[in-house]
Amino acid sequence: MDKLIIFDLKNTLVNPLGESIFDTTRIIEVARENNVKVVLYSMNEVWSYKTLFSYLPLGFNEIRLVGKKQSSDFTQYQDLNAMVIGDSDDEELSFARMNNFVYIDAKKGISTDKVLDFIRS
């Protein structure tokens, strides 16, 4: 089964000031080596655009900017072995649970080792 990692942006990869919280560089490198797709999932806001181009390595396979986060945003990934990394219990983490995806709550900290183990498993 193909694998996928979905990252939320705000309060997961960067703080509200656009400063990096979590370095995705190593994860994206290892994901590419293992043919794991990496998606950035965020709200379609001017803030998101500025942050994407200023702070993050643009090595994502897909960037999904949406007007409103909805559970249907994840339906296209239902047949994949997916991990969701985010901070919103009402949005991406809830959608992960609905689809039986592995998830990491960024509010509790993101373990690079846990993500790398998922990629390599």
Give me the average pLDDT of each 10-residue run along the chain (121 residues): 92 86 86 94 85 74 93 94 97 96 95 94 93
pLDDT, residue 45, reads 86
pLDDT at residue number 87: 96
| Long-range pairs, 74-78, Cβ under 8 A, ≥24 | 74/6, 74/98, 74/99, 74/101, 75/99, 77/4, 77/6, 77/101
In sequence order, the β-bridge partners of residue 82 are: 4
pLDDT at 57: 63
Residue ranges covered by each domain of the chain: 3-120
What is the architecture of the domain spanning 3-120?
Answer: 3-Layer(aba) Sandwich (3.40)
